[in-house]
């Protein structure tokens, strides 16, 4: 299934400097269709502050309020997620906890072989089955996921699909990504104490806007989404183009 086409950049003027909800332009060209949060820690030995409490339900509610169609949470690579973040994901998708907003469709992105946290993967898989028919918001949880590994797996799958006569194109490779029908992120939010490109959706973020927010990933919440969307609205996207 081909990936969703990218919207053209909005030629409108940038917004002011306020981060409040009242200053967010509700126009569809100013609201990102897909927001991805890079939360997976590159340091498995790191411990998050004891008072860090992820508010993933707040992220979901905020995405619904803004009219965002796709929300992706990269919570774990080869290492398990931080304890507080794992607990938050578990509570969000657990049917008994009732913490998932109505109309949200859950999906999983990542390798199925050798997950670092198979119990959490099973729990998210169960939520994906229960919510498959929902369409208000697609919530993708990236577990056992790495951007480089996804590209390697896609190249391998493409090579296996056509034999020695395989023609390599962007469209052909994209069709073998973990979620080939997922639109590329318009906005990537990195919540960390460092500023670098994370190993999150490296193929998909070529033309994404990045917002870096300082703080522990395990303390992410609705305010982070609001700040990131406000910053996104101030920008003029060129999608790699050069203005004269």
Which pLDDT value is given to residue 236?
Answer: 84
Q: What pLDDT is attached to residue 218? A: 77
Ranked by mean pLDDT, the top range of 26-40, 97-111, 229-243 is 97-111
Nearest to 1 by CA among 181, 149, 127: 181
Per-residue model confidence as pLDDT tens digits over 146-181 = 999 999 999 999 988 876 667 889 999 999 999 999
Look at residue 190 and give its three-state secondary structure.
strand
pLDDT category, 52, cuts 50, 70, 90?
Answer: low
Contacts of 153 (CB under 8 A, 6+ apart): 111, 176, 178
pTM reported for the whole predicted model:
0.83
- Predicted local distance difference test score (pLDDT) of residue 11: 36
DSSP run (H or E) holding 191: strand 187-192
Q: pLDDT band at 57, cuts 50/70/90?
A: very high
Tokens of 210: 């990045």
Structure tokens at 33: 């269709």
Cα distances (Å, whole numbers) of residue 230 to 18, 111, 205: 8, 33, 19
Average pLDDT, the chain: 83
Q: 109: pLDDT confidence band, cut at 50, 70 and 90? A: very high
- 152 or 42: which leads in pLDDT: 152
- Domain coordinates in residue numbering, the chain: 32-41+52-146+184-234
Contact 147, 201 (CB under 8 A): yes
What is the residue whose two structure tokens read 């030995």?
A: 45
Measure the CA–CA gap between 87 and 136, rounded to whole angstroms. 24
CATH class of the region 32-41+52-146+184-234: alpha beta
Backbone angles phi, psi at 190, to 5 degrees: -105, 115
């Amino acid at each position: 299934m081909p990936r969703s086409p990218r919207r053209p950049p909005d030629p409108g003027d940038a917004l002011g400097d306020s981060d409040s909800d009242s200053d967010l332009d509700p126009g569809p060209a100013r609201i990102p269709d897909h927001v991805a949060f890079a939360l997976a820690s590159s340091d498995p030995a790191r411990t998050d502050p004891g008072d860090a409490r992820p508010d993933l339900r707040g992220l979901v509610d905020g995405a619904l309020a803004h009219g965002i169609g796709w929300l992706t949470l990269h919570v774990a690579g080869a290492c398990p997620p931080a304890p507080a973040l794992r607990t938050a994901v578990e509570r969000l998708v657990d049917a008994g906890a009732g913490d998932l907003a109505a109309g949200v469709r859950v999906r999983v992105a990542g390798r199925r072989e050798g997950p670092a946290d198979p119990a959490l993967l099973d729990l998210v898989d169960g939520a994906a089955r229960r919510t498959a028919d929902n369409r208000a918001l697609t919530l993708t949880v990236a577990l056992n996921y790495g951007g480089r590994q996804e590209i390697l797996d896609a190249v391998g799958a493409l090579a296996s699909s056509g034999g020695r006569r395989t023609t390599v194109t962007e469209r052909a490779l994209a069709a073998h990504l973990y979620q080939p029908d997922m639109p590329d992120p318009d906005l990537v939010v990195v919540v960390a104490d460092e500023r670098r490109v994370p190993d999150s959706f490296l193929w998909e973020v070529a033309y994404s806007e990045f917002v870096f927010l300082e703080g522990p990933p395990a303390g992410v919440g609705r305010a982070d989404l609001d700040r990131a969307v406000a910053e996104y609205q101030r920008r003029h996207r060129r999608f790699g183009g050069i203005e004269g």
